[in-house]
Each structure stands twice: as C-alpha cells, then as structure tokens.
Structure 1
Amino acid sequence: MVGPDDILRFWLDECGPEDWFKSDPAFDQEIRDRFGPTWKAATEGKFALWLTYPSGALAYIILTDQFPRNMFRDNAASFSTDKAALAAAKSAIAKGWDMRIDPPARQFFYMPLEHSENACDQDRAVRLICERMNDAEFLLHARAHREVIRRFGRFPHRNVMLGRATTAAEKAHLDAGGYGAVVRGLQAAEAA
C-alpha cells in the first residue's frame, strides 16, 4: 500500500505547480494507476494514523482533495471525498501544522477550504493565505473562488456533474467564461 511519503514525493518532488492545476489525461491516468487503490482505502476510513502528524495530514489532504479532481475529472466523484479533506484540513490548521510545512506545499492545507461551497470556509481560506503565505497568485485564485461562492452560493461548473439545475445567472456566468472570467476581472481591478 502507498504511504504518505509516497504521495508527498510524487506530488511535491516528481510533480510541481506546472502539473497541479492543468488538465492532462495522461497525468490523470497516472494518478489513477498509482493512487486509485489508496484513495479507495481512504474512502473506507483507513489512514486515521496519517492524521496524527503534519506531513501525514498533508498527504491525506492531497489524497482526498487533489487526487480525486484528477482521477475523476468532469465526474461527481471528483468531489466525493471533499468533506474528509475539509475535516482533515481544519483539524491540521487548528493545530498549527500548516505552519510546519513550507510553501508551496502549505497551500494544500487551504485548498479544501477553497473547494468548499461554504462562504465562511472561503473567507477563512483568503484570510489564512493572506496571513500565512506570501503568494499573490495563490491569493488571487482564493479570492476568485470566494467571489464565485459569494455570487452563487455554490460552484456553477459543478452543476451538471452533480445533477443540479443551473440558474439563468449561473448560465450567464458560465457562458461569460466562468471561473476564468472571475480571475481576469479581479486581475483587471487590481491593475486599475
């Protein structure tokens, strides 16, 4: 079975920022092949021991928050372990474990908050990134996530995958470029 060090070595050493947030079918397949069984074990409640120390918690969060977005891209399963990741992230942050992990890896403690469709989680993500990270690009994306939740109370791009009806306002948002348009709007506002 894959352990926390294997996940961290893959995600932080073999891969990097250029891989983390792009859509690449070959990369997604590699994650499915290497970590699919481990993710499945996490859904069955395994790996509680990982949540007892900082790097283990980080590996658990990556496994349950980041990897499903690759393994199940454009499918509701992408979000199926978000609650587990969010609980792990909140617990680790409360213990100050995020501050024991250097950037850029530290950002993954905050990603479950950004992926939450809860406005309080979104506000907390932005606040933590402002206080604990020195990364303007990551902050921009946290603010964009928060803006979408402020407008709609949810992420409209998930509606089809989750079988939710899309409102007229959400459709207009998606037709105008969705999340990418929000990012560009925030960048334009900052430049003005």
Structure 2
Amino acid sequence: MLIRIIAPLRVLRPYTRPHRFQQHARAMSSFNLNKEIFNPGLYKQIRDIWFKDTPIGATEIDMSVAKQWFMASAEEKADFDGICRHNFARALEAVGPDQFPNPSAEPFLREIEQAVQNNPTDGGAEAACTALSIVLLLDQITRNIYRNQEGLVKVYNHYDIICFSLMSRLLSTDTPLVRPDLHSQWRKSPIFRLWFYLPLIHNEDLNMLEKAIEIEEELEKELDGEEDFENAKMFVQEGLKSTREHRDILRKFGRYPHRNISLGRESTEEEKKFLTEGGATFGVAQTEEK
C-alpha cells in the first residue's frame, strides 16, 4: 500500500552557481568517464530502477520498494541482482580496477560539475540527482552485482574507495558544489537522502562514521516537528539504528570482522567469537566461496 507521500519542502540553503573545478587548486585525475556510458540517461535509469515509481521528495514509500532494498527473499534478491547486472555491469566495469587502477573521486566530481553547467537555471536539482545516482551505482549496485567473496574484494578495495572519497568531498567545505544531500527536493525525504551517508558507514573510518551519525541525528531533529511524517521518521530511526550498530562494531574491533574473509585478513579470537555467536555480518556470507 502506498501511503501519502508528498509534503512541501523548504529551501533551507540557497543555491549559488559554483566556480569551475579547474579553478580549484587540487590534483585532477587524468581518467575520463566514457560518455557513451556515463550520461544523464544512465543516471535516470539508476534512479528509476532503484526507486521505481517513488516521486522525488517522497516521505512515504511503497512497501514493495522497501522490500526490494531490505527484506527481499533469496529469489527476489537474485531477480533484482539480475536487473542490476543487466543494466549496470557495463558501467561498473568501465570504472573497475582494470580500467581505473588508481581510483579517485575526480572524474565523478567533474560529472556533477558538468550537470551544474548544463542546467544553470534548475537550482542544482540535476546535479544533485546526478550525485545520488553515482552514489547508488558505486555504493549500492556494486553490492547487488558483486556478492561473492571475489566480487566483494572489488567492492571494498575499489568502488568503496571512490564513493567514500566522493562523499567526503561533497560533504566538506572544500568544494564549490552545494551539498547534494541537502537539496530542497529531498531535504526532508530520508527515502532519498539517507543513501548519501552509506559510503561513510561502509568505510572503516570511525571519524566519518561518527559524522554520518551526527548528520542523521540532525535529520531526525528536522523531522521531529513535522506532522504526517511518521514513515519518514521511522525510516530515519531504522537508519540510525544500523549506523550506530556499525559504529559500535568499529569501536570494538577497529574494522568490520565480517569482511575479513573477503580481504584475506586473519580474524582475532575475539572477532571469531563475535561472528560465531551471531554478530552482525550485514548480509555478507561468511564462507570461502569465490
């Protein structure tokens, strides 16, 4: 059942046209994205498949979409993984470790900047949508396509590095881009906004994970005074619960034990005990299967 979904959004931060990235004193990657693959059509397709018919800015969600993300059966996961693989494997391979051996955020930052330049009158909406699509591709769709141990090595050692670097830059003050997660089109829509923070959680960096918690807590406070946002509030609460669980594990072990097999790391006795006693693996199989 699809419950009431649209609520007015306030523009809490005015958009200003950024300076070109070339004007900023920082090293630029020589790697260029293949425009036959990476273009507005791809980015729209990512959002269409990920969110189905959920309107931008929605504060309520069709349960079939939430199930696709979090509660799918093994068969349903396999079906959705197949859709992701069919539509997006080529894009991921084009920026995979073989083609892009020195991963950085720069090509993707340029892509977002290009969206600003191509849409000078839309208040940054297309650039924010482009950023969201890139985050979904690198942080989420990788996990649908590369589920086995061999694939997860690429996720942890390559795609996560790119996406963490990208979001670190987009959330910092050292960028001319307005933060895409705070764009007015989804400022109060955790259904869209929370995906920006998962790259911070997926990196084994406690400081950035604490930052994710801080941002999510701010979002929770923003929604506290809103009426008819119950599903949105619940979505944030569940997100915070998961983020804090990741934080507690990282505080205890300094890393995520469920990644040890994929990364060839020797588990400590404490980590082995944690895993055998049902410690969180966040859906990652604890087998040697390649």
Task: Give TM-score, length-normalised by structure 1.
Answer: 0.85
Aligned mate of 1:163, from 244, 254, 264: 264
Q: Match of 1:98?
A: 181
Gaps of 5+ in 2: 1-36, 54-63, 101-106, 114-126, 173-177, 221-232, 283-290
Task: Give RMSD over aligned pairs.
Answer: 2.1
Q: Match of 1:130?
A: 217
What amino acid maps onto 1:125 in structure 2? Answer: A
* Cα deviation 1:104-152 (Å, max 9, x = unaligned): 1111110000111011011011111111244111100000011111111
Aligned-pair distance for 1:48?
A: 4.8
What amino acid maps onto 1:12 in structure 2? Answer: F
Query: Which range is displaced more, 101-110 or 172-181?
Result: 172-181
Structure 2 CA distance for partners of 1:124 and 1:165, relative to 1, 3 Å:
same
8 Å CA contact retained: 1:70, 1:78: no
Aligned mate of 1:81, from 148, 159, 163: 159
CA distance in 2, matches of 1:42, 1:107: 24
Q: Match of 2:67?
A: 18
**Fraction of identical pairs, as percent:** 29
Aligned length: 181
Does 2:112 correspond to 1:51? yes
Higher RCO (Cα < 8 Å, 6 or more apart): 2
Q: Match of 2:86?
A: 33
CA distance in 2, matches of 1:74, 1:173: 22
Q: Match of 1:184?
A: none
CA distance in 1, matches of 2:92, 2:66: 21
Gaps of 5+ in 1: 182-192
8 Å CA contact retained: 1:42, 1:64: no
8 Å CA contact retained: 1:123, 1:146: yes
CA distance in 1, matches of 2:271, 2:254: 11
CA distance in 1, matches of 2:109, 2:211: 25
Structure 2 CA distance for partners of 1:19 and 1:50, relative to 1, 3 Å:
farther
CA distance in 2, matches of 1:16, 1:169: 37
Structure ID, larger Rg: 2
